[in-house]
Amino acid sequence: MDQFKVINDSLGHEAGDEILIVLADRLRSKVREVDTVARFGGDEFSVLVQDIREVVDAAKLAENLLAALTDPVVVAGQELVLTSSAGIALYPDDGEDEATLIKHADIAMHQAKKRGRNAYQLFTTAMNDAARERLTVERGFREALSNGRLEVHYQPIIDLMSRQPIGCEALLRWNHPTKGLIGPASFIAVAEQTGLIVPAGEWVLEVACTWAQQLESTVAKNLSIAVNLSPRQLQERTFAARVAAILDRTGLDPTRLQLEITESMALDADSTVEVLNGLRDQGVRIAIDDLGTGFSGLSRLRDLPMDVIKIDRSFIRKIHDDPVGEAIVRGVVGIAKALDLYVVAEGVETQQQLDVIERLHCHAVQGYLLHRPLPPAELNELLANLKPSPDPPQRIS
């Protein structure tokens, strides 16, 4: 059943049990006497159906079962409409024993949930391989977090007027024992799904703030440090307090810390705005990363507490020969001016892209054309030979 926990939490477990009895009767009414319906625990049922001749027959049965479960249920004086997700494994293609078939059906069911729920999904070898890989990544990343195999690299953010760094973005890297240094694309989704992103994100934040504070006494006064947040971190009620504790431990001025959230997180304003306000009250600056991927939501930006917007690299990639992309960036910059925000263009890799960005009056850029992400020692050496901007980036006047 999809999100059945909400039923138990809101109506109580007794009401939840009543609903499960009704649903079990519906499942039994849709299969033959030779077939088996079993409740495996919680809100999960398994159906064993004999003599399925074709894959399409299993799919049709799944559709019928899901349809039966969506009929309204009356409990505690309330009429509820519930949905469910189903996974299908077929003998012998998907397994030759009961344990393998159940495992593969379960993998397929979770795939159906990922795709939006209220649906069925057939098991495939690709799904099984993906599940194995996910488990391998989860175990490895958990071990890396415990054993100090994670690193933070930093990519300079360059002011277009002075051509000097005004800040750096902290980027997580995994020093894998066999694959070497790998970027977040290989592990960040698993870290999000498993909740490991919370301790990993807090570790990155502390390491980055410590590094930025050390720069204050060496080569780069007032250089800001940008750290990406995950949705899981913002859902933590104590997150703003933990940020304050990190700033206190490291001694970093809160105005030099910039926390970056994705556009989709920003547009979920009801659940994030309170946390963001708490962070800004401390003096921390807030940036929206990857702006443009949800362009239809730009009208809501005026209601969010923020200081910086970062234009997504997908718009920058072809900006020099894409009139629509250039128009979107021009529109974003115009909105930023109206909202008194600072604009950074991400993913700048060619001189042509940079020329257009300058013409559109963005304030700063970030990308491989100017500087790739560097480990701390290399970046310290680079900054020693540059002249970082004496002041942190300001909003548009």
Helix and strand numbers (H, E) in the chain are: 15, 15
* pTM for the full predicted model: 0.73
Within-domain flag for 396: no
Q: Where residue 25 falls among pLDDT bands split at 50, 70, 90?
A: very high
- pLDDT tens per residue across span 235-254: 888 899 999 999 999 999 99
Distance (Å, whole) CA 310 – CA 43? 43
Query: 310 and 238, same structural domain?
Result: yes
CATH code where residue 38 lies: 3.30.70.270
Q: Does the structure show a pLDDT above 80 at 270? A: no
Q: Does the structure show a pLDDT above 80 at 52? A: yes
- Which residue from 302, 373, 285 is spatially nearest to 340, judged by alpha carbons? 302
- Which residue from 104, 105, 380, 374 is spatially nearest to 220, judged by alpha carbons? 380
Between residues 263 and 207, the one the model is more confident about: 207
Phi-psi region of 125 (alpha: psi -120 to 50; beta: other; left: phi over 0): alpha
Q: By residue range, what is the domain housing residue 70? A: 4-123
Detail the DSSP E strand segments found in 204-336.
224-228, 257-262, 285-291, 308-311
β-strand pairing of 86-88 with 150-159: unpaired
pLDDT reported for residue 126: 79
Of 123, 146, 181, the position where a domain reaches its end is: 123
Please compute the mean of the pLDDT values over residues 59-65 and round it to a whole number. 91
Please compute the mean of the pLDDT values over residues 307-315 and round it to a whole number. 89
Range from 56-60, 101-105, 215-219, 393-397 carrying the lowest mean pLDDT: 393-397
β-strand pairing of 120-122 with 86-88: parallel
What is the pLDDT of the chain when averaged over all its residues?
88
Within-domain flag for 131: no
pLDDT reported for residue 255: 94
Query: 276 and 249, same structural domain?
Result: yes
State phi, psi for 17 to the nearest 5 degrees: -65, -40
pLDDT reported for residue 387: 64
Query: 201 and 167, same structural domain?
Result: yes
pLDDT reported for residue 396: 38
What percentage of the chain carries pLDDT values higher than 90? Answer: 58
State phi, psi for 106 to the nearest 5 degrees: -65, -40
Query: 44 and 165, same structural domain?
Result: no
Of 123, 152, 179, the position where a domain reaches its end is: 123
Q: Does the structure show a pLDDT above 80 at 360? A: yes
Alpha carbon separation from 62 to 84, 92, 99, 383 (Å, rounded): 10, 19, 20, 61
CATH code where residue 187 lies: 3.20.20.450
- pLDDT tens per residue across span 115-142: 888 999 999 877 778 778 888 999 999 9
pLDDT reported for residue 294: 54
pLDDT reported for residue 175: 96
Q: CA geometry: angle at 282 spanning 281 and 285, to 5°?
A: 85
Alpha carbon separation from 22 to 73, 158, 188 (Å, rounded): 8, 62, 40
pLDDT reported for residue 389: 56
Within-domain flag for 395: no
Query: 341 and 277, same structural domain?
Result: yes
Of 123, 146, 170, the position where a domain reaches its end is: 123
- Which residue from 261, 198, 199 is spatially nearest to 226, judged by alpha carbons? 261
Query: Residue written as tokens 């990363």?
Result: 289
pLDDT reported for residue 397: 32
Between residues 213 and 125, the one the model is more confident about: 213
Query: 281 and 235, same structural domain?
Result: yes
What is the residue type of 394?
Answer: Q
DSSP designation for 374: B
Query: 148 and 116, same structural domain?
Result: no
Distance (Å, whole) CA 159 – CA 354? 12
Q: Where residue 271 falls among pLDDT bands split at 50, 70, 90?
A: low
Query: 110 and 161, same structural domain?
Result: no
Query: 116 and 251, same structural domain?
Result: no
Query: What domain count does the chain have?
Result: 2
